[in-house]
Amino acid sequence: MADWSIVLPRREVERAGPLIFGSPKAPGVLSYSVHDMSTGLEHWTVAPLAAVMLTIDLEAPDRCSLPWSPVNGLRDRPLTIEQSGRSVGVTVGLSPHAAHALFGPMRELANTTVGLTDLLGHDAQLLAEQLAGLPTWPARFGLLDGYLTRRCLAGPQPADPVRAAWHLLARTGGRVRIADLADRIGWIRQHLVTRFRDQFGLGPKSAARVLRLHRAVSLMPGSPPATIAAECGYADQSHLNRDFRALTGTTPTGYTR
């Protein structure tokens, strides 16, 4: 789920050129998106995504404060990216349970960006070199499928109730009360909140906000704001506007322009 639709300003993403997308076959891997762009100094704001995002740099731009091959944990606030120069690589969208299998418990990665080398050590550089040595993106996607499948199957798995809680939140677009969510999986609320945050980084309430945002964006610009608010479980249009601004840095109207 490398959702480039919630990157602002949107015109800069469009100007950067078309992306190449792959269809992952590794368990829990949501998306592959390839970028190849050259820019002057650009400032982008990326809204929180319902996925852990891993970018593998084949040619890295100057990103100012971000490391080589950055990994972004789940977030509940916008991320500002400043970069210049040529950027070639692939961004991998990981479900929280796949990220847990690859990197371990995600509590330290919430609202944080770290370099892939910090998480995988020398394997990170080897993976980038192997990808760069292949002639086509389909071949690179195949390499990623094999590597990620092995790592995801061998790595630590989140607790089944935590995984079930995430799937229920995702399936309903965040429209589940946390007390009801705890009842559904058979845990008390505080235990759910603690385990969910430890294993995925965000608490379930914050995760629900992000999932509601993505549901709201999927309904824009074809639906009136009041309809979107009701459909996505916001109390009213003002609630939608407040949450949208907190998570994206702009209003629904500003986003759709």
Contact 55, 69 (CB under 8 A): yes
Q: What is each CA distance from 140 to 80, 117, 127, 137, in whole angstroms? A: 28, 19, 10, 5
Q: How many helices (H) and strands (E) does the chain have?
A: 12, 7
Confidence of residue 1 (pLDDT cuts 50, 70, 90): very low
Question: For the segment 101-149, what is each residue's pLDDT rounded down to a tens digit?
Answer: 999 999 999 999 999 999 999 999 999 999 999 999 999 999 999 999 9
Could you count the other beta carbons within 10 Å of the beta carbon of residue 246?
Answer: 14
Comparing 15-24, 41-50, 147-156, 248-257, the range with the smallest average pLDDT is 15-24
Q: Report the Cα 96 to chain-centroid distance in Å.
A: 9
Domains and CATH numbers, the chain: 4-154 (2.60.120), 160-256 (1.10.10.60)
**CA distances for 201 relative to 106, 164, 217, angstroms:** 5, 16, 23
Specify whether the CB–CB gap between 56 and 116 falls below 8 A: yes
Distance, CA of 60 to CA of 165 (rounded, Å): 37
137-150: string of b/e by CB count within 10 Å (b at 16+)?
Answer: beebbeebbebbbe
Alpha-carbon distance of 178 to 190, in angstroms, equals 10
Report d(CA 88, CA 11) in Å as an integer.
Answer: 19
Question: Residue 63: pLDDT band by 50, 70, 90 thresholds?
Answer: confident
- Report which DSSP code applies to 249: S
CA-nearest of 109, 104, 113, 106 to 46 is 113
Closest among 244, 5, 206 to 106, alpha carbons compared:
206
Nearest-5° Cα angle at 171, 4 to 14: 10
Decide which of 62 and 72 is more confident: 72
Instruction: Please state, rounded to an integer, the average pLDDT across all residues of the chain.
Output: 90
Q: Tell me the pLDDT tens digit for each residue of 187-246.
A: 999 999 999 999 999 999 999 999 999 999 999 878 898 999 999 999 999 999 999 999
Band of pLDDT at residue 11, cut at 50, 70 and 90: low
For residue 72 the two structure tokens come to: 């972004």
What is the full DSSP assignment across 198-216? Answer: HHHSS-HHHHHHHHHHHHH
